[in-house]
Amino acid sequence: MKCRILHESKGRIRVHFCQKHMTLHQADMAEYALSAVSGITKVQVFDRTCDVILYYRCDRKTVLSALAHFCYNQEAEALVPEQTGRALNREYEEKLASAVMRRVLHKLLLPLPFRRLISFIKALKYLRRGLQCLMRGRLEVDVLDAVAITVSMLRDDFNTAGSVMFLLKIGDILDEWTHKKSVDDLARTMSLGVEQVWMRTADGQELLVPVTQISKGDCVIVRTGSMIPLDGKVIAGDAMINQASMTGESVPVHKSEGAYVYAGTVVEDGECTVQVENTAGNGRYDRIVKMIEESEQMKSSAESKAAHLADKLVPWCLGGTLLTWLLTRNATKAVSILMVDFSCALKLAMPISVLSAMRQCAESGITVKGGKFLEAVADADTVVFDKTGTLTHSQPRVAQIIPFGGRDEAEMLRLAACLEEHYPHSIANAVVAEAERRGLLHEERHSKVEYVVAHGISSMIDGKRVVIGSYHFVAEDEACKVPDEHIFRHLPKEYSHLYLAIGGEIAAVICIEDPLREEAKTVIETLHGLGLSNIVMMTGDNERTAKSVAEKVGVDTYYSEVLPEDKAAFIRKEHEAGRRVIMIGDGVNDSPALSESDAGIAISTGAAIAREIADITISANDLYALISLKKLSDALMKRIRRNYRTIIGFNTGLILLGAAGILPPATSALLHNASTLAIGLKSMTDLPVPEQYQQPKSQGD
């Protein structure tokens, strides 16, 4: 792309694309294509002026090369998501500008009789709203607006009536923009994150292929803990499907042959073969938007409280107006009270504050599905951490393989990888990655694979039952024999152990190195300092491993060898004790606890079902995002409380000044609406907390 440098400073450059006009789609292509360049941290594209601002940490030559090689091609277009929000923002920017320009032109160009006629026509909408509210037997804000406008016009004060309606219109536009932007931002963050799927070929083979290669009519296999990648019909198998993301149902639904399943839903138990009917991205965004709009999950209790308080104050405002008129017989003083209500600011500032916090969370690699979950994080006093993949790295490594009975080490790893690749989680990924690193091909040799949550996997190979999983599953539940007691008793204690058994006999132990996250101890210390008094670690690992990790990271309490239902039961017990609980996990076995908690937080590299059930997802590379989340949540609640005090205090002052005759109605209306816009604009600004915590660099970096 031919461009001209307009301004440059350290780490920042502004350029002008040499083209006459830039469409919104071209602006999106430029933003996402340039953002994908390594070292470029942020890209701002201004389509009206064809200017682009780039922030970078890489070499300047890399940035200039990226600009020089950029063009509007299919490669750039492929990086643009289904919805970007640019068109939505432009729509409401134009609505606001249009409303302001019409108001200015009417005041400057139209004669008074025409302005009065227009004011009367516009007032009909507000009068209709007020009458409809009264017909429902309710005294709400619409009634107050209708009375204020009507009284102003009856007093021949059309300027005040027009000003009130103009500011109400601006408030409606901002409120609608806030809501739609919240929905749009959230819908775009709820991407599937499915890149590869298991496709069943015509001859019955299973192939792992990119989801983009799937066509209508192809068959994909989805197993326990995995997300259904595409819409389609079940042609084989039985599964319990969690459809909360699509239908809002909290209970999994049984799906068998002939049933329709949706992309983005998750198999909680069982497996099914789905014949694809809609390919990637086909209509999912619209369905998510509809689901969110019909759901109340985005509303925090603070937002609901603001809306209810605004309506409850209406009778008091009307009563104050009537009382003032009865005591003073001064219509001007009485109308001054009508010009002031608490609804605009209360109903506008709170959702905008929540939106601002959610946006800042997204910038820190945190996806929040609703305002009430930020409120839950702010109010929480207990945090429950899963260990594997959460306090430890999400990519454990195979450290050692110990075969028994003279079996070949490589063959045992090949067999383990063959089974584990069907149910991807952190330990399974480690086994598959080690086989790949050693160049071991693991062709399908087994029959149907069965997954037992929090225990392991079983299948049949060459007529023998093969199981892989925890010691409890293999040695106790499956009663597999231990071939060499001496070696078995002296397994390396610093590793987690994955047991592989063939034909009722343990054939190998795979030692998994589960390195602790470097930042875990610092994060937990900081969370303690932020008011979280009870930090708990729960893990399915043995007592020895759990104790070692707990001592290193500094949790208050730890529990070892727990099952998924144990984690959920612990959270229920904490709720009964009056505590608010956050759960942080990444695996299939964490799903019940994530669902049970006040705010379930999933690590994005974990299982699909954990991400789907969780209320908050962290996609950052470290746990410092938890500190950002807590600080943002606390700052949000602090802003909301400050907004309450400001709105109630300022508007009460206006009412008193109006009743005293110090402020005329027009001035009261102007100050009230100006304060509403000021508080709304202030609520749009970033909350005063660090954007994100970065992991300290080692000396070797």
Tell me which residues are annotated as active site.
Answer: 386
> How many beta carbons lie within 10 A of that of residue 150, not counting itself?
16
Residues 346-370, buried b or exposed e (16+ Cβ, 10 A)?
Answer: bbbbbbbbbbbbbbbbbebbbbbbb
Nearest Cα to Cα of residue 204 among 408, 472, 448: 448
DSSP label of 481: B
Residues 6+ apart with CB under 8 A from 622: 517, 519, 693, 694, 695
Question: Which long-range contacts link 92-101 to residues 24+ away (Cβ below 8 Å)?
Answer: 92/173, 92/176, 92/177, 92/180, 92/181, 95/173, 95/177, 96/170, 96/173, 96/174, 99/166, 99/169, 99/170, 99/173, 100/170
* DSSP assignment string, 34-65: HHTSTTEEEEEEETTTTEEEEEESS-HHHHHH
Q: How many CB atoms lie within 10 A of CB 629?
A: 28
Q: What are the start-end ranges of the H helices in 18-157?
A: 24-35, 60-69, 74-77, 86-109, 112-135, 141-154
Enumerate residues 6+ apart whose C-beta is below 8 A from 138. Answer: 311
Spatial neighbors of 95 by CB under 8 A, at least 6 apart, are: 173, 177
Joined tokens for residue 690? 């660090």
Paired sense of beta strands 456-461 and 450-452, if any:
antiparallel
Q: Which residues of 562-597 are buried (b: 16+ CB within 10 A; e: fewer)?
A: bbbebbbebbeebeeeebbbbbbbbbbbbbbbbbbb
Token pair listed for 470: 């925890």
DSSP codes, 525-559:
HHHHHTT--EEEEE-SS-HHHHHHHHHHHT-SEEE
Task: Tell me the C-alpha distance between 170 and 670, whole Å.
Answer: 13
Single-letter residue type at 585: G
Cα–Cα distances (Å) from 411 to 20, 415, 474, 484, 612, in that order, read 64, 6, 19, 19, 36
Phi, psi (degrees; rounded to nearest 5) at 558: -140, 155
From the CB of residue 463, how many other CB atoms can be counted at a distance below 10 Å? 7
Query: 81: which 2 tokens?
Result: 């998501």
Helix, coil or strand: residue 385: strand
Query: Which of 249, 251, 255 minimizes the C-alpha distance to 273?
Result: 255
Q: What contacts 492, CB < 8 A, 6 or more positions away?
A: 399, 400, 511
Distance CA 284, CA 255 (A): 20
Q: For residue 111, which amino acid is it?
A: P
Cβ neighbours of residue 537 closer than 8 Å, sequence gap 6 or more: 384, 385, 386, 387, 391, 546, 549, 550, 553, 555, 557, 558, 559
- For residue 441, which amino acid is it? L
Tell me the residue type at 159.
Answer: N
Name which of 46, 54, 51, 53 is nearest 90 in CA terms: 46
Q: Which element (helix H / strand E) includes 616?
A: strand 616-618
